[in-house]
Amino acid sequence: MEKVIFDLDYQRKIEERVFQEGMELKEAGTPFIGIYCAFTPREIILAAGCVSVSLCAGSQKPIETAEKHLPSNLCPLIKASYGHALEDSCPYFHFSDFLFADATCDGKKKMFELLGKIKPLHVLQLPQTYETDESIAQWLHELQKLKSILVRQTGRQISEQALSEQIKLLNKQRETVNTVFGLNKGQVPLLYGNEINIICDGGGFDCNIEKRIAEMEKAIAQVKERANDQAFINEVKNKPRILLTGCPTTNKKVLDVIEESGGIVVAMENCGGLKTAGDRVDEEMEPMMALAEHYIKIACPCMTPNQKRLDLIAGIVRDYRIDGVVELTWHGCHTYNVEAFLIKKCVNEQCQKPYIQIETDYMENDIEQIRVRIQAFLELLS
C-alpha cells in the first residue's frame, strides 16, 4: 500500500488555495479582520460575513526590525508579529482591515499600543480568571463591544441566527480537529506531530471552513489506512510518545528536533492544539452568552489560578499514552515560564512521567544544543 504522507507540499497546496479564495473575497469587498489570540471568538467575525485572519508570526526575519521599537529580550512571537507589521511583509496583516487583540500577557498588551498606530485596533480587556460569575459577565460585556465595533466598522449586521450557524460550524471544525488528534490515542499512533499541524492548519484565512473540514475528513480517512500498513506500524511503534506543551508552536524548530531525533509528538496542548480545540460551544444557550462562557475557559497561563491546564495535561498524558512531556517556552515569556514549575510538578508527581523544558527563541543557532538535550531525554524514555 502507498504510504500516506502529509508534507509541506500538501500544506502549500492548501495555503495557495485558501489565499486565492481569500483574494477573491477581498476583491469582492469582504472585510478582513485580524486576530492575535484564541480568546477572540471567530464566530462573531464570521457571522458578520467577514474573513478572520490569524496574525501571530513564527519567522525570525522581521525580528531585527521589531527590535528598533521593542526590547531584544521580549518574546519572539510578539517581536515577529510586530516586525511584520512595521515592514508590511506579511500578506495576512497587509490585507486585514481592522484588528482585534486580547489583553493576555503584558508583552502583547504593550505591543498592541504601538500596533494601533499602524492599523485600526481594539483591545479586548480579558478577565484573567475564569468560570466566575464576575469574569463571565465582564467577558460577555467585552464581546458585546466587539460585536458593536464590528458592525460599526463593516456596516454589516450580526443576527442571532448567523451566530448560531457559525457556532455549529466551528464546533464541527473543533470536533474534526479532535478526531485528527484522536488517531494517536491507540496502541500505535497514526500521525506525526508535524502531520497533525499540516492537516489542521487553516492556511491563514478563514474563508471556507466547510471546505477545510472536508479536507481534514479526507485526510482522516487516509490516515486510518495506516492501521493496516505494517511498514508504518514498525516505523512508529517503538518511538517514545511525546506531549508537546507550552507556548504556541508558531515556529516549528522544537517540534522538528523531537521528531528528527526519534520521538513522535502524538499530542500538542499548545494554542491551536488540544487546549483550544477540546470543548464545544453550547449550541442550546443564547449565542453571545455561550461564546462568553466557552472562550473564558481557555486554559491559558495568563489565567490565574490555572488548574484547568493541569487537569487537561493530566488527561492527555493518560488518554494518549504519553511517555514524556516536552514544554516549549519562548525566551521572554514569563507567563508560561513561571507556570512551568507547576506543569513539571504535575507531570512528575501526578502523572509519574518525565518532563523537560526547552527555553529558546526563533533563531537557529541553538538547534544542536536543543538536539543534544532532546536526544538524551528520548534515551531516558527508551
- 8 vs 138 pLDDT, higher one: 138
The mean per-residue pLDDT over the stretch 172-201 comes to 96
State how many domains the chain has: 1
Residue 20 is assigned to a structural domain of this protein: no
Residue 197 is assigned to a structural domain of this protein: no
- Average confidence score pLDDT of the chain: 95
The mean per-residue pLDDT over the stretch 341-363 comes to 98
pLDDT at 237: 94
Give which of 143, 74, 81 is closest to 118, Cα–Cα.
81
pLDDT at 4: 56
This prediction's pTM: 0.96
SS3 (DSSP) at 134: helix
pLDDT tens per residue, range 85-141:
999 999 999 999 999 999 999 999 999 999 999 999 999 999 999 879 999 999 999
Residue 49 is assigned to a structural domain of this protein: yes
- Residue 23 pLDDT > 80, yes or no? yes
pLDDT-wise least confident of 28-42, 244-258, 267-281, 297-311: 267-281
Residue 183 is assigned to a structural domain of this protein: no
What number of H helices and E strands is found in the chain? 17, 9
How far is it, in rounded angstroms, from Cα 45 to Cα 35?
Answer: 10
Residue 61 is assigned to a structural domain of this protein: yes
Residue 98 is assigned to a structural domain of this protein: yes
DSSP 281: P
CB 326 within 8 A of CB 245: yes
Residues facing 124 on adjacent strands? 102
pLDDT at 202: 80
Percent of the chain with pLDDT over 90: 94
CATH code assigned at 100: 3.40.50.11890
DSSP string, 21-90: HHHHHHHTT--EEEE-STTS-HHHHHHTTPEEEE-----STTHHHHTTTS-TTS-HHHHHHHHHHHHT--
pLDDT tens per residue, range 297-338:
999 999 999 999 999 999 999 999 999 999 999 999 999 999
pLDDT at 1: 34
pLDDT at 94: 97
Give the range of the structural domain holding residue 40, as residue numbers without chain letter: 30-154
How far is it, in rounded angstroms, from Cα 65 to Cα 114?
Answer: 14
- Residue 283 pLDDT > 70, yes or no? yes
pLDDT at 2: 42
Q: 324 phi and psi, to 5 degrees?
A: -160, 155
Q: 328: part of which helix (H) or strand (E)? A: strand 324-330
Residue 150 is assigned to a structural domain of this protein: yes
Positive or negative CA dihedral for 209, 43, 336, 349? negative
- Residue 241 pLDDT > 50, yes or no? yes
CB 220 within 8 A of CB 183: yes
Count Cβ neighbours within 10 Å for each residue of 327-362 and write b for 16 or more, e otherwise.
Answer: bbbbbbbebbbebbebbbebbeeebebbbbbbbbbb
Give which of 315, 277, 317 is closest to 298, Cα–Cα.
277
Which amino acid is present at 2?
Answer: E
Residue 46 is assigned to a structural domain of this protein: yes
CA distances to 34, 195, 342 from 374, rounded to whole Å, are 35, 20, 21
pLDDT at 3: 52
Residues facing 206 on adjacent strands? 52
